[in-house]
Structure 1
Amino acid sequence: MSHHGVHQRILQGQARLWALEALTTEVAAVRHPLGFICLPLERDGGEGVCVHMWSDSLAHAESTTSQIHCHSWDLVSHVLYGQMRNVHAVVTDAGADATHRVFEVVSAPDGDRIAPTPRTVRHDTGLVELFGPGDTYTLPAGRFHTSVVPEGGEAATIALGRGRPGSRDLSLGPLAAGPHHVSRQPLDARETALAVRLITAHLT
């Protein structure tokens, strides 16, 4: 189902039903470097629909930069279950007192190419938003933030993305880190089935 179609289902209060239906189809789940399991369900040009889930029952990937990032696409996120904190980061350019470097992340089928930029920054915690089951929130492209699930918590969201021309995927990382490539780690059939079972169990 398209980005627009899924968004309409969310607005109609049918997000849980849609997720249960969508997860009956074959899906190639991957471990995302930001610490969640991504189940991609639709990709059409600059639009995408995924289910993201956080669970200690499955191994997760680690970021080589940091959890603070911004998207090249506008996000609509709907919480299916659990709690989600959207922590905004206030990022300011800095020189000798910089704590992080900005990295550009370019994604491809074989993984992510991560390249340092000349920009160095400091950051502070900004607005912290807390969302629970049934809540929907939006985040425009270019806004630095972190998605945080309480330690040991279980959560899943429907993530709708719509690319914004001219925007880039960015992440804050160590000042001295160099360019590198990160391969996406696919879940095997057993792990994928477990992820689907865990989500389904929370929704039924």
Structure 2
Amino acid sequence: MKPTAATYQEASTLRSRLEHKGGDEADSLTSRVRHFLERTARGECAPAAKLHPLGFHCIPVYRSAEFGLCVHGWLPGAQRETSPTSDMHMHTFDMVSSVLAGNVINKQLELVDDGPNRYRIFEIRKDGGEDVDVFTDTGMETAIEERKIDKVSAGRQYAIERLVYHSADETARNQDFTVTLMLAKNWDDGPQRTLVEAARAHTIPLRYERRILSEAATRTAALEILDVL
């Protein structure tokens, strides 16, 4: 893994601001993210934005074997991708996300034996890079229960431990601008997993490639995000 647009020192400072809670630190974090986006919009650094299958633009700030940072922007009216599986999933890393604008509605889910709706569990592996997902049907079925629903507004943050299933589908349906800075850490080499309605498990593609935006489209996304920070 190689660093993206920020240096290790810059990314470490962002990580420190993100992990340290408090109003002053939140203001400092937003200021530093604005600086990164301004550089991106001017073409002074060249991260490649991606259309994430969960409905947001992802602008990578930094990525290494130690940790990763990305700016996520839900932009009404902009081009969006739709997940080929579902938005119910779990990560193989610990995640901390600070909401810089708008709101995130995050639901923590628990897999249970019994329930009216059945879901098939799919594994997600990477095919030679983080932008290609390979789906494998495990053959295991489950039901789900919503255990915790958090509406997290600007100036607040939330954390999700690895292997915890969650969903933020209402954020994607929201017509307000939402911007977050996401920190991923404590990687696990195992596959991530996602849930699919059992009745359509046979329709899931074997391979999904995330769309990487051009430099011009990345600069436009950075400007749109800047407008709401």
Flag whether TM exceeds 0.5 (same fold). yes
Structure 2 residue 180 is matched with structure 1 residue 163 = no
TM-score, normalised with respect to structure 1: 0.90
Query: What RMSD over aligned residues (CA atoms) do the two structures have, in Å?
Result: 2.1
Structure 2 residue 125 is matched with structure 1 residue 106 = yes
Structure 2 residue 13 is matched with structure 1 residue 5 = yes
Q: Which structure carries more strand by proportion?
A: 1
The aligned counterpart of 1:42 is: 62
Structure 2 residue 163 is matched with structure 1 residue 142 = yes
Partner SS for 2:227: helix
Structure 1 residues not aligned, in runs of 5+: none
The match for 1:174 among 169, 177, 197 is 197
Q: Which amino acid aligns with 1:153?
A: D
The aligned counterpart of 1:70 is: 90
TM-score, normalised with respect to structure 2: 0.80
Structure 2 residue 99 is matched with structure 1 residue 79 = yes
Percent sequence identity is 25
Q: Which amino acid aligns with 1:8?
A: S
Distance 1:121 1:4 in 2: 39
- Once the two structures are superposed, residues 11-50 of structure 1 have per-residue CA deviations (whole angstroms, 9 ceiling, x without a partner) of 3331111111222132100111111111111111142110
Partner SS for 2:47: coil
Aligned length: 202
The aligned counterpart of 2:35 is: 21
- 123-132 or 68-77, which moves further after superposition? 123-132
The match for 1:130 among 141, 148, 151 is 151
Distance 1:185 1:64 in 2: 13
Distance 1:67 1:193 in 2: 27
Call closer, same or farther: CA 1:181–1:17 in 2, change over 3 Å.
same
Call closer, same or farther: CA 1:85–1:26 in 2, change over 3 Å.
same
Flag as ranges the 4+ runs of structure 1 deviating above 2 A: 1-5, 9-13, 107-110, 163-168, 174-179, 188-191
The aligned counterpart of 2:4 is: none
Q: Which structure carries more helix by proportion?
A: 2
Partner SS for 2:219: helix
Structure 2 residue 85 is matched with structure 1 residue 61 = no
Structure 2 residues not aligned, in runs of 5+: 1-6, 40-44
